[in-house]
Amino acid sequence: MRQEMRSYLDTPVDRRGTNCEKWDMLGQHFGRDDLLAMWVADMDFRTVPQVRDALVERADHAIYGYTDNSAGEREAEAGWLWRRHGLKVKTDWIQYSPGVVDSIFFCVSSLTGPEDAILIQSPVYGPFFRAAKLFERKLVTSPLICGESGWRMDFDDLEAKFAQGVRMMILCSPHNPVGRVWTREELQRLVDLAARYNVIIVSDEIHADFTFDGHRQTRILALDGAERNCIMLTSATKSFNLAGLRHSSIIVSNPDLRGRISNALIRAHATSPNIFGSIAQTTAYRFGDEWMDAVVEYIRENRDYTVEFLRERLPEIGCVPQEGTYLMWLDFTGLGLSHEDVLSLLVNKAHVALNEGLFFGEEGRGWFRMNLATPRVNVEKTLENISNAIRSR
């Protein structure tokens, strides 16, 4: 990356005092404020400069009334998906909702009924569990398998549970928190299996722009047969650090599924966009390529630094280097401590805030998630603090 861009990302920005969940709500979540915030999945990097400029220009207008999506917004997103992922989508496949979690809820409420079962692969992002419970659907889990070669799906278990009447699967691709980028072959096998048992796949692909080491994200709608039963959820908010602007996309090629989701959005009065979210996403998709490339490279360097540090100085902490996302899934069970004791050590001795694994299901007991989308100085300090805390036990 250009040195100018590296400096842009490498410069720490003080986020305290901005009502920032990640840094200003540490006391509320962890009981103390003097922590390095390495938890909430947003980035400590300033966004694409052109996005900032576009927002300032629009803010200068000083009237922020009801609005609609601009004519070019869907074209900008379709252009990004083709340019970055080789996926061709028609602009009328794209609908907007306030966030990807909201989109999951809209899919569950509009495409399943009270007696239907929803399958998730644990450990997985906490709101996946909530989506089933909130609408009183039956929750079915198919735990991922962690072996010597890393994490993988249990296809035998998936088929057995699909055969028992699962109506919908919520897929995380790339997977949060384990960091797998599913291969095209794995995803095609999953799509074929779902079609055989009439299962709808809702694919959360919010981390799709963060992949490393030649691993390439296969968008669910690029697969043979996916147009029948697959829904792709995505957002520029994760890719370009815009989460506070609340904007995301539901992309559906099947007109029946698309229409049912659209009706749910209309009933919830969720179709009116955030002015600034719409502008930010369109601008990012048009001008964000260099910034995105630099961020991915920077995060990969942070990941490699962390892996080497753990290997040399903290071999008790296990990790499989993530293929995607900017989140590292760390196994603390080798310390021989309870989950609660590890959490206390991290907070009260190391003074770092990581996401605790139980947020991702019972399979996350003893595991913690670390956010690497931050200037290197924060990564270095976090690892030093954890090392010192463990060695001083």
Sequence ranges of the domains in the chain = 3-48+289-388, 64-287
Cis peptide before 321 (omega within 30 of 0): no
Q: Judge whether residue 205 has pLDDT over 80.
A: yes
Domain 3-48+289-388 CATH class label: alpha beta
- The mean per-residue pLDDT over the stretch 343-361 comes to 98
Q: Judge whether residue 383 has pLDDT over 80.
A: yes
Contact 373, 13 (CB under 8 A): no
CA atoms within 13 A on the CB side of 97: 24
Please report which confidence band the pLDDT of residue 26 belongs to, taking 50, 70 and 90 as the band edges: very high
- The mean per-residue pLDDT over the stretch 226-243 comes to 97
DSSP 18: S
Residue 293 vs residue 70, higher pLDDT:
293
Q: Beta strands 117-120 and 94-97: pairing type?
A: unpaired
In the sheet that holds 230-234, the strands lie side by side as 94-97, 248-252, 230-234, 200-204, 166-172, 117-120, 138-141
Contact 104, 170 (CB under 8 A): yes
Residue 269 vs residue 79, higher pLDDT:
79
Cis peptide before 123 (omega within 30 of 0): yes
Q: Distance from first CA to last CA of the chain, Å, rounded?
A: 41
Please report which confidence band the pLDDT of residue 1 belongs to, taking 50, 70 and 90 as the band edges: confident
Percent of all residues in the chain with a pLDDT value above 70, rounded to a whole number: 100
Give bridge partners of residue 119 from the DSSP assignment: 140, 169
Domain 64-287 has CATH 3.40.50.1820: no
Of 64-68, 316-320, 332-336, 382-386, which gets the smallest average pLDDT?
Answer: 64-68
**Span 294-338, pLDDT tens digits:** 999 999 999 999 999 999 999 999 999 999 999 999 999 999 999
Q: Pseudo-torsion of CA 347, 376, 215, 129, nearest 10°?
A: 30
Tell me what pLDDT residue 365 has.
97
Q: Judge whether residue 92 has pLDDT over 80.
A: yes
Nearest-angstrom CA–CA distance, 348 and 34: 9
Q: Judge whether residue 272 has pLDDT over 90.
A: no
Cα–Cα distances in angstroms (integers) from residue 175 to residues 210, 252, 319, 368, in the given order: 11, 21, 15, 15
3-48+289-388 matches 64-287 in fold: no
- When the pLDDT of each residue in the chain is averaged and rounded to a whole number, the result is 96
Contact 118, 168 (CB under 8 A): yes
Nearest-angstrom CA–CA distance, 369 and 353: 9
3-state SS assignment for residue 43: coil
This prediction's pTM? 0.96
Please report which confidence band the pLDDT of residue 271 belongs to, taking 50, 70 and 90 as the band edges: confident
